[in-house]
A and B are shown apart, each in its own frame.
Chain A
C-alpha cells in the first residue's frame, strides 16, 4: 500500500517537495520488504500464550478468526468485492473437516487441505456465476449463495446434524504425536502456525503484480479494462483464494472446538467478520490482526454478562464507526500521522 499512501501524503501536503515522484517510486520498490512492526502481532500472540494460559481456547479462536478476516480482507480490501457471504466458505470448510473427522478420518492437516479444496471449489463455481455482476446485485448474490448452503446444511440433517450441529468428531493427534488436549496448547500452536503460513501467502499475493492489479480493479475498473487486464479472471482467482483461506479458517475452528453448527454458515458470521475487519481497517493486511482480537476479547467479556446487550453495543459501535471514524483503528493512526505531519 506504499503508493496510495504517498498519494494521500501529497494530498495532505507532507511531501510536496519536487522529488516526491522519485520518492514514490523508491517507496514502491521497497513495498514488499519486511518491516519491524510486522513482527508485532506474532510477538503479541506469543506473549498472550505466556501471560494468559487460562485463555488459550479463546486465543486459538482468535487466531483462526483472524485468518477468516484476512480472507475477507483479500476480497473486500484488495479486490473490492463487497460480500455478505463469506461465511459460505467458512462453513463449507468447517463441515468438510467436521464430516471427515466424524467419519473416521481425523488427521488434522489433510482435513485442512480437504477443507481448503472444497471451499475453493465452491468459491470458484459460485464466483463464475456471481462475479459477472457488480454492486448491489453482487452483494445480494453473495448473500444468496451463503443462504443456499445454509439451507442445504439445515435440511440435510441426516448428514450434518441440522439444527443440533455435527456431533462425534474425532480429531487425531497432530503429526500423530500432539494431542488436542484440554488446555489447548496444541490447538494454539496449530492455529498460530497455520495463520502464519497463510499470512505469508496473502502478504506475498497482495504485494505481487497480481495483487497490484487487484487494487487497480478496485480503484478503477474501466481503466483496468482499457489497459487489457483480464478483470473477470483476476477477480475470480482472488475470490477462489479467499474462499480457500476462509475454508481453512472454518476447518481450524471445527477441529479445535470439535463441533460444527449451522451458525458457521450464517449471515451473522458474514456480517461480524466484516465488522471485525472494519474495526481494524480494510485493505491493509493488518486490520484483521487488530480488529479480531479487539472484537473477540470484548465479546468474551461482555457476552458473559448478557449476550443480548452485546449485540446492542456492537450495533451502536458500527453506527458510530461509520458516522465518525471511517477507516477503523489503522485509519485513525493514519489520520493522526497526517495531523502530526501538518503540525511539524
Chain B
C-alpha cells in the first residue's frame, strides 16, 4: 500500500514536472538570451489552455488537434507582441520590464474573464484517459502517464533540435555571447522573435496539456507565476537542461510535500528555493 501510494505521488510529481518544464523552458531562454524579465510568460500558457479547452468544449475538436492548434495560435500571436512591445526593452531597465509584463498579466486576466467567465475551464478527457493504467509494478493514472510520455517526447525533440540544428546553434551562440553572435552575422533580432515564439508555443503546449493539473482560470498567470520563476531560478538562466532537472525537483518535491505534510502547502517549496538560492545564487545548473 505504502509503495503504491509512493509510486503514484512520484508519478504525479513527474507529470507535474513535465508541465512545469514545458512552460518554463521558454522563460529561461528569454531571460538568459534577451536579458528580459518576462513576468507575463504564464499568459501564453494560460492562452494555450483557454484555446485548447474552448476548441474541445465548444466545437468538439479532439484533444491532440486542439492542443496543436492552441500551440500554433499562441506562437503566432506572440510574434507581434514581441515585435511591438518587448524588443524595445531588451537588456534595459528591469523595472520597465516588470511593469510592462505585469500590465500584460492584468490585461490578459481581465480579457479571459470577459470572454470565458470567472470559473475554471473544464477539461473533458477522452474516456480512455480517465482511468488508470496498469504497469508491471502498479497502477498509475492514465492521463499522468500520457503527460509524462508526451512531455518526454517533446523534451527529446527540443534538446536534439537545440543541439543539432543550425537554428539551435544560433540560439546557443546568442545566449553565450550576444555581441560575438551579432559580429559573425547572426540576425539576432529575427532570432529573438523566433525564439520567443517557440518559447510561447511550448508554454501553450504546457498550459494545454497541464490543464487538469494547473487549472485554467483568469488568475492563472498571476497565481502560478512564482512556480514558473522558481523553476527558472533553480535551473539557471539561458539554459534548457537546468530547468528540466529543476522542474523534476520542484514537481516531485511539491507532490511529496502536499501528500506527506499538506498542512504546510507550498511553504516548504518556497523554503527549499530560498535555501538553494542562498547556496547558489545563479541556480543549481547556472553558469558562474
B partners with A: yes
Task: Let me know if B110 and A152 touch, CB within 8 A.
Answer: no
Task: Let me know if B95 and A82 touch, CB within 8 A.
Answer: yes
| Cα distance A274–B109 in the bound complex, in angstroms | 19
CB-contact partner of B270 in A132, A147, A318, under 8 A: A147
Task: Let me know if A322 and B106 touch, CB within 8 A.
Answer: no
- Asked if B63 CB lies within 8 Å of chain A CBs, one says no
Return the chain B residue nearest A128 by Cβ: B278
Q: Interface residue count for B (Cβ, 8 Å)?
A: 45
- Asked if B178 CB lies within 8 Å of chain A CBs, one says no
- Asked if A50 CB lies within 8 Å of chain B CBs, one says no
Task: Let me know if B88 and A323 touch, CB within 8 A.
Answer: yes
- Interface positions, chain A 65-92, Cβ under 8 Å from B, are 76, 82, 84
| Cα distance A284–B111 in the bound complex, in angstroms | 34
- Asked if A237 CB lies within 8 Å of chain B CBs, one says no
Task: Let me know if B229 and A133 touch, CB within 8 A.
Answer: no
- Asked if A317 CB lies within 8 Å of chain B CBs, one says yes
- Asked if A197 CB lies within 8 Å of chain B CBs, one says no
- Asked if A203 CB lies within 8 Å of chain B CBs, one says no
CB-contact partner of B103 in A76, A82, A140, A318, under 8 A: A318
Task: Let me know if A312 and B99 touch, CB within 8 A.
Answer: no
Return the chain A residue nearest B230 by Cβ: A144
A137-B107 contact in complex given A151-B265, A322-B96, C-beta closer than 8 Å: no
The distance from the CB of B110 to the nearest CB of chain A, in whole angstroms, is: 4
Bin the interface of chain A by size.
Answer: 35 or more
| Chain B positions within 8 Å of A262 at CB level | none
Task: Let me know if B274 and A145 touch, CB within 8 A.
Answer: yes
A318-B266 contact in complex given A82-B95, A309-B110, C-beta closer than 8 Å: no
Task: Let me know if A278 and B103 touch, CB within 8 A.
Answer: no
- Asked if B181 CB lies within 8 Å of chain A CBs, one says no
| Cα distance A135–B194 in the bound complex, in angstroms | 25
| Cα distance A316–B107 in the bound complex, in angstroms | 7
A148-B107 contact in complex given A82-B98, A323-B85, C-beta closer than 8 Å: no
- Interface positions, chain B 265-288, Cβ under 8 Å from A, are 265-267, 270-271, 273-274, 277-278, 281-283
- Interface positions, chain A 198-256, Cβ under 8 Å from B, are none
| Chain A positions within 8 Å of B103 at CB level | 314-319, 322
Task: Let me know if B111 and A312 touch, CB within 8 A.
Answer: yes
Chain A interface SS verdict (over half): helix
A318-B100 contact in complex given A129-B278, A144-B230, C-beta closer than 8 Å: yes
- Asked if A154 CB lies within 8 Å of chain B CBs, one says yes
| Chain B positions within 8 Å of A84 at CB level | 98
- Asked if B104 CB lies within 8 Å of chain A CBs, one says yes
Task: Let me know if B94 and A82 touch, CB within 8 A.
Answer: yes
| Cα distance A309–B112 in the bound complex, in angstroms | 11
- Asked if A185 CB lies within 8 Å of chain B CBs, one says no
Task: Let me know if A140 and B278 touch, CB within 8 A.
Answer: no
Return the chain A residue nearest B234 by Cβ: A140
Task: Let me know if A275 and B99 touch, CB within 8 A.
Answer: yes
| Cα distance A147–B223 in the bound complex, in angstroms | 10
A323-B100 contact in complex given A136-B31, A311-B106, C-beta closer than 8 Å: yes
- Chain A 84-127 interface mask (CB, 8 Å, partner B; 1/0): 10000000000000000000000000000000000000000000
The distance from the CB of A109 to the nearest CB of chain B, in whole angstroms, is: 33
- Asked if B125 CB lies within 8 Å of chain A CBs, one says no
| Cα distance A141–B106 in the bound complex, in angstroms | 22
Return the chain A residue nearest B226 by Cβ: A147
- Chain B 86-99 interface mask (CB, 8 Å, partner A; 1/0): 00110000111011
CB-contact partner of B282 in A137, A151, A274, A317, under 8 A: A137
- Asked if A268 CB lies within 8 Å of chain B CBs, one says yes
| Cα distance A28–B273 in the bound complex, in angstroms | 44
Task: Let me know if A318 and B229 touch, CB within 8 A.
Answer: no
- Asked if A62 CB lies within 8 Å of chain B CBs, one says no
Contacts A/B (CB < 8 Å), 9 sampled: A136-B94, A140-B229, A141-B274, A144-B274, A151-B265, A155-B264, A155-B265, A267-B225, A312-B106
